[in-house]
Each structure stands twice: as C-alpha cells, then as structure tokens.
C-alpha cells in the first residue's frame, strides 16, 4: 500500500507531504482545491505520462516521491526481480519532471525507463476515475473487462490461440503476397538464386583478401625485394674479402681472449657472441629467402583477377568477406523458404488452411471458457448491484462471432442490461444513466478487487450523479473494497466521507499572489465540521453539525 507521498513544485502544489494507512481514506475539499492533482501525482509515480505543464510556474522541475509497502505483494517483487532491482519491503519511487520535457524515474535509487516504471506501477496502483465510465460505454472494451474477472482461467488457452493466430497470419500474408504478384515472387526467386550462385562460385575464404593483397605487393616489388636480399647476403657472407659475419666473429674471438681480465670485457664478449649468432641466423634466413624467390609473371595476373572478383562481390553484397558470407546465409534461408518443399503456391494454400482450422479450433475453446466465465460474472454483478439498489436490474454478457479470427479471439462481447422488469435487454452503452454506469463500474471493481492483487485502489469522484440511499450504498461498496486493498477516494458526498476510516482535507489559498494547496488530516471534530459543510454548504448550522455527527456515529457503529 502507499505509505508516504511527497510532492514538490507540481501544478499548484509548492510542497506537500502526506502519510496514508490501510483501509479507506477519503480526500475532500472544494472543487479546484487540488484533490485530483494529488491523484495525478500518484498516477505519475505509477508510470503515467507526464508533461511540462505539470511543473509549477517558476520552478525548474517537479519532484514526486512515494513509499510503498510491498511486503505481501508478490507480483511487484517479481517485476522488480525481472528488471534487476533488489526487492525491499519498502519500495521508494521517485520521479522528476523537468521543464525541458525530460523525465527521470528512480526505483529504490535505480534509474528506470517509463515502460519499466509502468510495469511496476500496474502491480501497485489502480486509478479509477470518471473517465473510466467510457470503458462501459465502449463495447470494444467489454471483452477486456470480462477477462479481467478471472484471467487465469483463460490465460493458457488464449496464449496458445494467439500463437496459432500469429503463425496463420504470417503464412497467410505470404500466400496473399504470392498470389497478388506472382511475377515479382518469381523475379525475387531468380534474383536470390543468381546471388547465391555468384557468391558460392567465388569460394570465398575469410581473410584471403588480406593475404592476396600482401602477395600482390610482393610480386609488384619482386625486383626491389630480390636486389635487397642479394645485397644483404653479399655483405653478410661475401666470398670476396671479409664478410660482416667474419668480422664480428673476429671481434668475438678477440674479446673472449681478454674476458678473464675484467667483468666489463666479459660482458662485451658475451654481447658480441650473441650478436654473432644472431647474425648467423639472419644470414641463414636471407639465404633461405633468396632460394625461395621465384618470378612467375602469370601469378601476378591471377592474384589481381582474384582481388578484382572479391572487390566486385564487396560492391554488391558487403564491405568485407565476413559480411558477404553473412548475406549469403541470409538469402539462402529466404530462398529455402520461398522454394523449399511444401512452399509452392498450392502447398502454401493447403498449409494456410490447416493453420486457419487450428486457429479456429483454439478460438472455439477460448470462447467456451469465456462463456463459462461470463455466467459467473453475470451472477456476481447481479449480486453486487442488488446491494447498490439495482436489485431488479438484469446484466448479461452477449457473445457474437467475428467474421474472421482476430488476435483477441473469435468473439465480439457486449454488456447488456435491463434496468426495469418487462423491458428488453439492451446495450449498456445506449440506455444506462450516469448514476447507473457509476454503480455498474463500482460493482465490477468490487468483484475485480479480490483478484487484482494491487496494493492501492484510487477512486476519483466515481460517485458523481448519485444521492440519498444510493450514495450510502456506494459508500458501503467502496469501504467493502478497502477490505481487500488500500482505498483512496475523492468524493463530494457526505455519506462517502463519513464511511471512510480516515479523512484528509484539501484546500487552496493565495499567498503573495501564488496559489498554494494544503493537505490536512482531520481529527474527529474536524471531520464533523467538514462533513457538515458537505451537507449544508459554507454556513454551518447546529442541525448540519448534528447530522454530520449522526452520520459518523452510524458509520462507526457499522464498522
């Protein structure tokens, strides 16, 4: 659950620190005081999209920080481990929104990107606002709401269906492309075959171009190399006169003759001896190089032709032999797919039909599981609506088959209701009033709260459009949800405020020409005064105060 929230330079909030506890906490205050801004801050800590407009005028950045107790939230710890973040019982999330438009997110001190923060946030917080009624108004969202009831029941089958659907779609796309332009298909096959044959015919070997260039340089400079070796050998081992080797040999003998008379002479003798043997080794290597020298005019042409072949292949297929061979492997695989066994058009069509039938079979299994889930959801919703003074309302999940399979299955799902006996079931989006939508969504949220496992659920004015006993029923329902998850609730209804375990008052004031938002935890007397204002307006009367005390007393006795 959310333990601590710190906000700095965010919208109209200069600085705000708040503590939260388990149970139901209600935020009250006049419209525009900043209640929803606080919820926006929590939403950003859960990975919501930020904006420079959130940065308070005159500030360089907005800073948000939340501390969450995740000791018993296995889902959050699993996500943290997947992201390489050490899970701790107290999770600290910090987010900075800079005036430049950049956003910096940290989780337990580790910088994460927005997608990672959103993955974590989805396990921590569920924000439910007035705009979420749009999900009920949009039948395209009803399938997602249905599966949210008990996703584990369909997860495995849905994953297998989607894998089959993707395989079918990929194969069908290939078939359609082939049928659409068979001429281009054949051209592509011919081109790939030509390229494969051309590269294979060259019998390339990695590194051979470097060896060939070295050999070409030797052949082009053959005469210079030959002359240098001959001159060197003549100096090292001359048959006329005294050679360099002989002269060093004489020096070695002379120095060895006096080596016993001084350590310096001995060191010189050793060094000359090493030089003599090194020179002998060099002489032998020069002799061997001369013996191996052979001029073959045709070899230079062969080397140049081979290098030219490699150059032409590099221009077409890659900057190096390694890249050319990688390209060869890639086009061989593509050619195999296009021409391999079973991949001509007739065989491909047969394979596509086979994959389609597999997809439909798994889709039918998925539909059956969804329909069983729908029966349970219908009953659960009816039970919840009965507690919200909609006991005569019938709720039904209607299934219609799609003309062709889609990624989410074979089903179009739509919620139908019958608010009054004797009427036909009709689409929820067309006949439900605002108050009915609020209650139906709250009924769904009550059901889902038992399964979602998130630490905190936030309701942002979901009680708009209701009053009287319905308002009391909604208050009871929200409090019921707090038995499974921490609940933070923004409300203008005194019944909801009185039902809460804790109440925070949000107010704004102008200081030195700047609007400031303050958050105050109300004690018992403070709650009486605030709820009395919610009942009667700004001017408190003894009657409104008495009524507020009565509401709180009733809720205290109910708790």
- Closest Cα partner for 175 from 352, 421, 403, 390? 352
Where does the pLDDT of residue 325 fall: very low under 50, low under 70, confident under 90, or very high at 90 and above? very high
For residues 530-540, average pLDDT: 83
Lowest mean pLDDT segment, chosen from 155-164, 187-196, 242-251, 474-483: 242-251
CA contacts within 13 A on the Cβ side of 168: 21
Lowest mean pLDDT segment, chosen from 172-176, 330-334, 432-436: 432-436
For residues 73-96, average pLDDT: 90
Region of 241 (left: φ > 0; alpha: ψ -120 to 50; beta: rest) is: left
User: Comparing 336 with 377, which gets the higher pLDDT?
Assistant: 377
Residues 6+ apart with CB under 8 A from 425: 394, 396, 398, 416, 417, 418
- Closest Cα partner for 460 from 131, 38, 137, 128? 128
Q: What is the pLDDT of residues 330-372, one digit of tens each?
A: 999 988 887 764 456 778 889 999 999 999 999 999 999 999 9
Angle at 533 (CA atoms; ends 527, 536), nearest 5 degrees: 135
Are 80 and 107 contacting, i.e. CB atoms less than 8 angstroms apart? Answer: yes
What pLDDT is stored for residue 342 in this prediction? 44
User: Comparing 129 with 43, which gets the higher pLDDT?
Assistant: 43
- Closest Cα partner for 450 from 479, 474, 482? 482
Question: How far, in Å, CA of 490 to CA of 34, rounded?
Answer: 11
pLDDT at 133 > cutoff 60: no
E-strand stretches of 110-193: 110-112, 125-129
- 540-551 burial, b at 16+ Cβ within 10 Å, e below that, comes to eeeebbebbbeb
Question: How far, in Å, CA of 245 to CA of 233, rounded?
Answer: 10
Question: How far, in Å, CA of 220 to CA of 340, rounded?
Answer: 48
CA contacts within 13 A on the Cβ side of 424: 3
Question: How far, in Å, CA of 150 to CA of 122, rounded?
Answer: 17
> φ, ψ for residue 350 (rounded to 5)?
-65, -45
Pairing type for strands 61-69 and 110-112 reads: unpaired
Q: What percent of the chain stands above pLDDT 70?
A: 93
For residues 271-285, average pLDDT: 87
Q: Domain-by-domain residue ranges, the chain?
A: 184-337
pLDDT at 559 > cutoff 70: no
Report residue 234 as tokens: 């003549």
> φ, ψ for residue 489 (rounded to 5)?
-140, 130
Where does the pLDDT of residue 241 fall: very low under 50, low under 70, confident under 90, or very high at 90 and above? low
Highest mean pLDDT among 133-137, 264-268, 454-458: 264-268
Angle between helices 263-292 and 222-236 (to 10 degrees): 140
Lowest mean pLDDT segment, chosen from 45-49, 122-126, 340-344: 340-344
Token pair 């060896």: residue: 211
pLDDT at 36 > cutoff 70: yes
What is the average pLDDT score of the chain?
Answer: 86
Where does the pLDDT of residue 223 fall: very low under 50, low under 70, confident under 90, or very high at 90 and above? confident
For residues 396-401, average pLDDT: 95
Q: What is the pLDDT of residues 101-111, one digit of tens each?
A: 899 999 999 99
Residues 6+ apart with CB under 8 A from 67: 2, 3, 4, 5, 90, 91, 92
What pLDDT is stored for residue 155 in this prediction? 93
Residues 6+ apart with CB under 8 A from 184: none
Highest mean pLDDT among 71-75, 240-244, 343-347: 71-75
pLDDT at 295 > cutoff 90: no
Question: How far, in Å, CA of 195 to CA of 178, rounded?
Answer: 21
Where does the pLDDT of residue 69 fall: very low under 50, low under 70, confident under 90, or very high at 90 and above? very high
Question: How far, in Å, CA of 416 to CA of 438, rounded?
Answer: 15
For residues 531-555, average pLDDT: 84
Radius of gyration, alpha carbons of the chain: 41
What pLDDT is stored for residue 341 in this prediction? 46
> Which residues are paired to 411 by β-bridges?
401
Q: What percent of the chain stands above pLDDT 90?
A: 40
């Amino acid at each position: 659950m959310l333990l601590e929230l710190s906000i700095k330079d965010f919208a109209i909030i200069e600085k705000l620190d708040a503590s939260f506890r388990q149970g139901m906490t209600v935020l009250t205050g006049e419209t525009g005081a900043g209640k929803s801004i606080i919820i926006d801050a929590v939403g950003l800590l859960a990975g919501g999209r930020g904006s420079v407009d959130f940065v308070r005028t005159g500030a360089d950045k907005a800073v948000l920080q939340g501390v969450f107790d995740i000791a018993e939230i296995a889902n959050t710890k699993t996500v943290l481990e997947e992201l390489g973040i050490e899970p701790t019982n107290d999770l600290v999330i910090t987010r900075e929104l800079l005036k430049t438009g950049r956003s910096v997110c940290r989780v337990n001190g580790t910088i994460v990107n927005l997608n990672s923060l959103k993955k974590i946030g989805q396990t921590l917080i569920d924000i439910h606002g007035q705009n979420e009624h749009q999900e009920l108004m949009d039948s395209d969202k009803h399938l997602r709401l249905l599966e949210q009831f008990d996703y584990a029941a369909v997860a495995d089958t849905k994953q297998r269906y989607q894998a089959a659907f993707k395989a079918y779609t990929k194969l069908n796309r290939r078939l359609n492309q082939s049928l659409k332009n068979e001429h281009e298909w054949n051209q592509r096959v011919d081109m790939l075959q030509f390229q494969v044959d051309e590269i294979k015919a060259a019998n390339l070997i990695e590194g051979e171009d470097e060896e060939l260039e070295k050999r070409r340089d030797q052949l082009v400079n053959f005469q210079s190399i030959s002359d240098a070796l001959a001159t060197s050998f003549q100096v090292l081992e001359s048959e006329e006169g005294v050679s360099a080797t002989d002269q060093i040999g004489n020096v070695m003998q002379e120095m060895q003759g006096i080596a016993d008379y001084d350590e310096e002479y001995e060191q010189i003798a050793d060094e000359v001896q090493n030089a003599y043997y090194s020179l002998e080794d060099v002489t032998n290597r020069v002799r061997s190089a001369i013996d191996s020298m052979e001029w073959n005019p045709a070899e230079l042409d062969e080397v140049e032709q081979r290098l030219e072949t490699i150059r032409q292949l590099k221009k077409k297929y890659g900057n190096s032999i390694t890249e050319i061979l990688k390209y060869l492997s890639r086009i061989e695989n593509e050619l195999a797919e296009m021409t391999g066994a079973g991949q001509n058009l007739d065989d491909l069509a047969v394979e596509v039909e086979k994959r389609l039938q597999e997809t439909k079979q798994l889709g039918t299994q998925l539909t059956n599981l969804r329909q069983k889930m729908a029966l349970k959801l219908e009953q659960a919703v009816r039970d919840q609506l009965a507690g919200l003074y909609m006991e005569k309302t019938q709720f039904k999940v209607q299934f219609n088959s799609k003309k062709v399979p889609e990624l989410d299955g074979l089903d179009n799902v739509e919620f139908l209701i019958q608010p009054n006996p004797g009427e036909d079931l009709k689409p929820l989006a067309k006949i439900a009033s605002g108050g009915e939508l609020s209650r139906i969504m709250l009924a769904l949220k009550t059901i889902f709260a038992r399964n979602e496992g998130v630490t905190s659920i936030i309701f942002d004015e979901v009680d708009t459009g209701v009053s009287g006993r319905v308002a009391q029923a909604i208050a009871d329902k929200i409090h019921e949800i707090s038995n499974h998850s921490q609940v933070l609730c923004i409300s203008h209804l005194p019944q909801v405020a009185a039902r809460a375990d804790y109440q925070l008052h949000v107010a704004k004031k102008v200081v030195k020409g700047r609007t400031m938002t303050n958050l105050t935890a109300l004690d018992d007397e403070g709650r009486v005064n605030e709820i009395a204002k919610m009942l009667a307006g700004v001017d408190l009367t003894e009657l409104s105060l008495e009524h507020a005390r009565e509401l709180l007393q009733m809720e205290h006795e109910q708790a």
